[in-house]
Amino acid sequence: MTDSSVPDHLPPLPRDRSPPIGCIGAGFIMADCHLPAYRQAGFTVAAIASRRREAAEAVATRHGIPRVHATVEALLDDPRIAVIDVAVPPDVQPGIIRAAATRPHVRGILAQKPLAGSHAEAAAVVRACAAAGTTLVVNQNMRHDHAVAACRTLLREGTLGAPVLATIEMRAIPHWMPWQERQGWVTLRIMSIHHLDCLRGWFGDPRRIFTATRTDPRTAARFAHTDGICTSVVEYDSGLVCTSLEDVWAGPAREGGEGDSFVRFRVEGTRGMALGTIGWPAWPVHTPSTLDWTTTDGGWRRPRWPEAWFPDAFVGPMAELLRDLEGTEPAVCTGADNLFTMALVDAAYRSAREHRAVDPREIIGEDADRPG
C-alpha cells in the first residue's frame, strides 16, 4: 500500500505519453469517457474518425483533436498514428481490429469489451494481432474502477486472508444501445462481462459457472432477447464461491415506481472483509466508488478518493497499453487474457440454455478444434 490507510487504487502511468492515438468512434464511450480521461492523463490524441464524419467533427471540436479523417480507412492509413483506440459495436469491431493489424505503423490497439460476439470470433482476432506483432489490449475498465483496484490490492497483499465468498450485486437500469437489437442479446455480454472479468482480476480463472437468466420486461418490449436479468454462481478449485447478479429491471422505476439503483460488492476472507460500492448508476453525477474494509485486527477503514469509474477509470486500459509498448510493464488485460473472460461469458449462455454448470474450458477446447 502507498500508506497505512489507502490501498493502491490508481493505475501507473506510462513514462512516455506522446505516442499518437487515433480514435475510431464518436459515441458516448469515446466522447464522455475515453477522451476526458486521456486529456486528464496527458495522452496524445492525434486524430479521430467515425461512421458519420459530422459526429467525428463535433467530438474533435469538443476535445481539441487536431485531425478528423473522412473514413476509418483513412485514419488507419495515417502513418503518424501509432495506437488505435476502437469504440464501435462488437459486430463491427473485429473487422476494424483486423484491418488495423495490417498497418505496420500501428503498434497497439485498445478494443472494447466484448472483444467480439463470441469466444471463437474473439480468438480469431487475437490470432490475427499476434501474427502481425500488434499489441492488443481490451478495455475491461471495471478492473480499473478505484474501489475494485483497491480491493485487488488488499487481496494481493493478503490483508483479507484466503478468499471465502465474494458477491457483486447490480440493481440498475442501463442505457442500452440501439445496436444491441441486431445482436439479439442484452446483459451477459454487456454488463455481466464486467463482473465476471472483475472476479477473474481478483481471484484468477474459475472452474465453472452456473447461470440463470430471464427476459427484462422493459427491454422485451423493444426487442427479443433471453439474457435480461442474470444471476451466476462462479466456483473455484480452492473452494471459493462467487455470485454475480445483474438486475437490469430494478423494479418499475421507469414506469412510475420509486427507484433504488446501486452496484455493490462484498469480499469475505479468513482474516477480513471488504465492502465496495460502484458509483456509475448515478451518472452523469460524478460519484466516486468506495471501499470499506475490516480485519481480525479490528476496526473499519474507510478511505475516500475523488476519482470515479466514469470517466477516470478509463485512464487505466490505455495506460496499460502504453506501458506495454514502452517496455515498462506488460499489459494485463491483453486480448489473449480476455479470451478466458469471453469463454466464461459463452459458458454462462450455455449454462442458462442447458440448465447446468459449465466449465469455460469446454468452450475453449471446442473452439480450438474448429477448422481454420
Residues 251/267, Cβ–Cβ less than 8 Å? no
Sign of the C-alpha dihedral computed for residues 6, 264, 345 and 225 taken in this order = negative
Burial 153-165 (b: 16+ CB within 10 A, else e): bbbeeebbeebee
All three cell numbers of 118, joined, read: 463470441
Paired with 68 in beta bridges are: 48
Q: What is the pTM of this model?
A: 0.96
* DSSP code at position 147: H
Residue ranges and CATH numbers for the domains of the chain are 21-141 (3.40.50.720), 146-309 (3.30.360.10)
Angle at the Cα of 34 from the Cα atoms of 246 and 183, rounded to 5 degrees: 45
**Maximum alpha-carbon separation in the chain:** 61
Between CA 245 and CA 213 the distance in angstroms is 10
CA atoms within a 13 Å half-sphere pointing along the CA-CB vector of 249: 15
- As averages over each run of 10 residues, the pLDDT of the chain (372 residues) reads 66 97 97 98 98 97 98 98 98 98 98 97 98 98 97 97 98 92 93 98 98 96 94 98 98 95 98 97 95 96 95 98 98 98 98 98 90 62
At what angle are helices 335-354 and 119-132 packed, to 10 degrees? 170
In the chain, which residue ranges form alpha helices assigned H by DSSP?
A: 28, 35-41, 53-63, 72-77, 93-101, 119-132, 146-156, 180-183, 193-203, 217-220, 315-326, 335-354, 360-368
Place of cell 427484462: 216
User: Nearest to residue 247, comparing CAs of 175, 170, 189, 193?
Assistant: 170
All three cell numbers of 38, joined, read: 486521456
Residue 174: CB atoms within 10 Å: 18
The secondary element (H helix, E strand) that includes residue 1 is none
| Phi, psi angle pair for 49, to nearest 5° | -145, 155
All three cell numbers of 166, joined, read: 465474494
